Amino acid sequence: MRLLARDSEAERWFSVLLRSLHLAGVVWLGAAVLGAPAGHSRAALLVLVSGLLMLAMDLRAGRMALREVAGAAVLVKLALVAWMALDARHAVLVFWVLVLGSAVTSHAPKGFRHWPTPARGGAPRRQA
């Protein structure tokens, strides 16, 4: 049995660890861009790496498709985090866009999150 076999208890705990590190990175990044002497580049790197690893796990498990709103939103968020790491002048605005955008795309109804992007084609399914 592989250590991180799909749907294993080890994979679940690894996911919990990644999500915890990701949230800690978001708090660290927020503190840094809002004026705390915390170094925003390393915080952005933690958010970016943990976000990429979570994306890979979700894609592997089939929980997300990049051609749906939720998957495309993750790619946009990761690009914005990378921008924050490189351009401190816009970091505060980008941080708040990320926080609000993440809340909407994470907690929107399933029909919206799984709506196909133009790259995927086709009309979204209507829920009865």
Query: Which pLDDT score, from 0 to 100, does residue 6 have?
Result: 67
Phi, psi of 116 (to 5 degrees): -65, 140
Residue-wise pLDDT tens digits, 32-59: 999 999 888 899 999 999 999 999 998 9
Could you list the pLDDT tens digit for every one of the 128 residues in the chain? Answer: 465 666 788 889 999 999 999 999 999 999 999 999 988 889 999 999 999 999 999 898 888 788 888 899 999 999 999 999 898 899 999 999 999 999 999 898 988 888 887 765 655 555 54
Per-residue pLDDT, 128: 47
Q: What is the pLDDT of residue 120?
A: 56
**CA 84 to CA 28: how far, in whole Å?**
13
- DSSP label of 125: P
| CA distances from residue 76 to 98, 106, 118, 126 in whole angstroms, order as listed | 9, 13, 15, 25
Q: How far apart are CA 60 and CA 76, in angstroms?
A: 19
pLDDT at 96: 96
